Copies of this chain bind each other. A is one copy, B any other.
Amino acid sequence: MTVRTGREFLAVPGPTTIPDEVLQAMLRPAVELYSPPLVELTDSLLRDLKRLFGTAGQTYIYIANGHGAWEAALTNVLSKGDKILVLASGRFGLDWGEAAKRLGISVEVLGGDWRRAVRPADVERRLRDDKDGVIKAILAVQIETSTGIANDIEAIGRAIKAAGHDALFMVDAVASLGCVPFEMDAWGVDIAVSGSQKGLMSPPGLSFVAASDLARAIHRNAGLRTPYWDWTAREADTHYRKYAGTPPEHLIYALRKALDLLFDEGLDNAFLRHRLLAEAVRRAVGSWQTGKVIAFNVLEPAERSDTVTTILMEPPFDPSRLRDYCEAKCGVVLGRGLGELDGKAFRIAHMGYVNAPMMLGTLGVVEMGLEALGIPHGEGGVQAAINWLSTSVKA
């Protein structure tokens, strides 16, 4: 017997649930690519992305996924043979470093603990050692989708400044933008990248790069520039050049609608909503883990992200059986473990277009699954989540 007929609940950390209005914004005829409303649409998006990234610099919209934006960020400011420092706390930071290697960049990895955030003091120490300024850029990830770790970008920015180092600070905000604060200029970030399909509640296919004036100055002499990613070319007046060719009309109409929804809610409200719902999930997981089998992947509570929670499951219990139960029996799709955590963890996303009944329904089904499968766990997870939310969301 299943009780899954009804709305599917997608609780994976991207692509996330897309609001109906956003999907419907794509339901429109194509328009001529030089038409004035389309030009104005692009301008409005570039402007609003600056607001989202917290920068007075420049923003660029790429028809590409996040890996494309990574390549855009690297090729616009680096040259073959340059050295960079990758601050790793999960798979995606490592992958960005891999991409750099394949571009001919020399990569050093710092950290790499999958259960702890990057320590700013380690960054500062390493940079102080680099007396000759060999390191040209530092790559960090704000929220690591694989591990659920939230790195403190502001503190890392301070550490770089404290070290007196002038490497570019490049941050992946793919799994965080629109969900938690991001203040590029205030935090000393030079280049930030993000994508459409997570906190920004839009279909996958667009990614974004923001660049500070310093980054754009260094860009002029970068050896890896290519026509498709090139910032200078995209800063041309012609609308057509802003996308290096035909604009992705339907995707940008969708993004426009998604940003409208986000700004209508208010960024601060959205951040607070994410914090409350993330804490509800953590209260549930905290109750469940009073048994030995279930545990938070991230050891330090302060380093657990507000967009995704990675939950370890000890053998012989198998997270894929839990994921199967939730999906096949109840219509709830959980995230799987990635990289080192493949087969050892599952993930619950609380990112983007999520509210209290969606998260309580998701947690309720996870608890059903733990019980039905006989996976040892503490009781009262959802109850703890409800208690937390009822005191936080006052009448």
Contacts of A195 in B (CB 8 A): 246
* Number of chain A residues close to chain B: CB under 8 A: 109
Are the CB atoms of B357 and A362 closer together than 8 Å? yes
Are the CB atoms of A368 and B356 closer together than 8 Å? yes
Are the CB atoms of B6 and A355 closer together than 8 Å? yes
Q: Does A329 contact B (CB under 8 A)?
A: yes
Using an 8 Å CB-CB cutoff, how does the interface string of A340-360 with B read, 1 for contact, 0 for none?
000000000000011111111
Contacts of A5 in B (CB 8 A): 261, 265, 269-270, 273, 353-355
Are the CB atoms of A7 and B102 closer together than 8 Å? no
Are the CB atoms of B204 and A246 closer together than 8 Å? yes
Tallying the copies of this chain within the complex gives 4
Using an 8 Å CB-CB cutoff, how does the interface string of A158-177 with B read, 1 for contact, 0 for none?
00000000000000000000
Q: Does A333 contact B (CB under 8 A)?
A: yes
Are the CB atoms of A393 and B329 closer together than 8 Å? yes
Task: Identify A15's interface contact among B33, B99, B269, B331, CB under 8 A.
Answer: B33
CB distance from A65 to the nearest CB of B (A): 4
Binds B, one of A18-26, A110-118, A123-131, A296-304: A18-26
In the complex, residue of chain B having the shortest beta-carbon distance to the beta carbon of A249: B204
In the complex, residue of chain B having the shortest beta-carbon distance to the beta carbon of A196: B246
Given the complex of chains A and B, what is the CA–CA distance between A273 and B5 in angstroms? 8
Which chain A residues numbered 186 to 219 have a C-beta less than 8 Å away from chain B? Answer: 195, 197, 203-205
CB<8 Å pairs between A and B, sample of 25 = A1-B269, A1-B273, A3-B276, A6-B353, A7-B355, A10-B31, A24-B27, A26-B27, A27-B27, A34-B336, A65-B248, A67-B244, A67-B245, A67-B246, A102-B225, A204-B250, A321-B395, A356-B361, A356-B365, A360-B360, A364-B364, A364-B382, A368-B393, A371-B386, A371-B390
